[in-house]
Structure 1
Amino acid sequence: MPASSNFQQAIREAQSSALVGPNVVNKALPYVGGGMVLTAAGVIGGLSLIGSGSPLFMPLFWVALIGNFILFFVAQNVAMKGNNGTALPLLSAYSLITGFTLSGLVAYAIGVAGIGAIGTAALATGLTFVVASFAGRRMSDSVGQSLSAVVGLGLIGLIIAMVVQLIGSFFAPGMFGGNGFELMIAGFGTVLFVGAAFVDFYTMPRTYSDEQYLAGALGMYLTYINLFIFILRLIIAIQGGGRRD
């Protein structure tokens, strides 16, 4: 997932207490919020197509999914150069397309656990942001660097587990395709991205200059989108929606 490269880069670069961009967090936050709004709009658009039974949804989904990965790397590269005038429309499109690709998961969650599952995941994500914004800015270097290292290792483990789940579900669906393995991954992913939310507020001022606020916003956006996704997956797994038997 694109989030992994972004986290690992931030963790590698946040090696000292020197602040590269003391104002980058405050400058990035409005764009994180704007990205979330665009993502919600993309989800609503996808849900509308699903609800209407349109045959266009699946072709558009695959085009959006492939385009999303390409757009991420292009937007990240432009944002890292501080070319914010070009990066902003790219990141806006990326956020909107991300919402569309998530609409299938949201529709499934609503079917399994009801509309309340979406509200619960959104509320938990928002509360994490509030707590992380307070505590993450105040972490000492020892705590911040240690937590960054743990999150980095956890991301590697999560990616390996998800690849094992994907491959294993084809060859041993009873072991890897059931609800137990999904519950484990969803729970681990939720805890991991809660930790990443705290890490963001520590690493961003030590990684990005004030002119790179859109690059920082992209990293923080990915943290909270992934947190929302894994909370939803956890709710689905608890409700038994991960079973394939």
Structure 2
Amino acid sequence: MMDRTLTESHTGSFGHIMQIFAVSLLVSFVGTLAGAMLIPPSLIGLFVVIELVMLVSVFIMRFRGKMIGYPFLYIFTAVTGVTLYPIIANYGGILGANLVSAAFLATAGIFGGLALYAYRSQRDFSFLGGFLFAATIGLIVMSLFSLFIPMGSTMNLVWSVLGIVIFSGWVLYDVSQYKGGVSPEAVPMAALNIYLNFINLFIYILRFLAAIVGFSRN
């Protein structure tokens, strides 16, 4: 019993990871409020650049086997909260506030269900890692193409469904990887991964609803 207690004291439990994720989500919400009320639209582009630089830094650090700290995590989630505001405002204009709220609740429900399943399941979802990484790169490439080639309602619908499936897969994969706990210094990175899964799932659900609305108007 003493050995087990000693081991757990040197491990970031899954519960602790989820607590830090919840705090990160709250920080992001505060960032969204700041984006809505305090930050001029002309400065949003600067926050997007900061967000991209920090994301690239995360990939480089992971490649080198290094971890992020709590200050990096909370700064990043605050910045992404700011950059989320124009996205949410745009979809709010298309869908209305009620549907945006429903999308957030649907995201929370899907995320919670998948996380609970992955946590309780005896299945090993590590086999999804390679496929999810390649599929995520594909989504990024599609995003770059969409900057130059407008997508119709059908492509937007397909893109949004793919995004929902891929980030649902990431929830299963990451929760299955973290449910046994991680080292204390790895907790911020684990929480960041789960945070990104949640936010991207939310965005793709919004995109899906917007595509459905686009179909109904055609």
> Partner of 1:232: helix, strand, or coil?
helix
1:24-173 equivalences in 2 (<5 Å): 24-48=13-37, 56-58=40-42, 60-74=43-57, 77=61, 81=66, 87-140=69-122, 143-169=124-150
1:183 aligned partner: 157
Name the CA distance, whole Å, in 1 between partners of 2:130 and 2:70.
30
Matched, 1:209 2:160: no
Corresponding letter in the other structure for 2:112? V
Matched, 1:229 2:203: yes
- Give the C-alpha shift of residue 105 in structure 1: 1.1
Name the CA distance, whole Å, in 1 between partners of 2:58 and 2:168.
25
Name the CA distance, whole Å, in 2 between partners of 1:99 and 1:69.
13
CA shift in 2, pair 1:157/1:101, >3 Å: same
Q: Which runs of 5+ in 1 are unaligned?
A: 1-20, 170-176
> Partner of 2:149: helix, strand, or coil?
helix
Corresponding letter in the other structure for 1:144? F
Q: Which runs of 5+ in 2 are unaligned?
A: 1-9
Name the CA distance, whole Å, in 2 between partners of 1:156 and 1:215.
20
Name the CA distance, whole Å, in 2 between partners of 1:93 and 1:204.
23
Q: Which moved more, 1:132-141 or 1:29-38?
A: 132-141
CA shift in 2, pair 1:33/1:69, >3 Å: same
Q: Deviations over 1:149-197 (max 9, x none)?
A: 332232132223223323323xxxxxxx322221211121012111111
- Give the C-alpha shift of residue 98 in structure 1: 0.4
> Partner of 2:214: helix, strand, or coil?
coil
Q: Deviations over 1:121-146 (max 9, x none)?
A: 211221123212221124445x4133
Q: Normalization by structure 1: what TM-score?
A: 0.73
CA shift in 2, pair 1:216/1:24, >3 Å: farther
Q: Which moved more, 1:109-118 or 1:144-153?
A: 144-153
Name the CA distance, whole Å, in 1 between partners of 2:144 and 2:137.
11
Q: Normalization by structure 2: what TM-score?
A: 0.81
The answer (yes or no) to whether the contact 1:23–1:205 under 8 Å persists in 2 is no
Q: Which moved more, 1:127-136 or 1:62-71?
A: 127-136
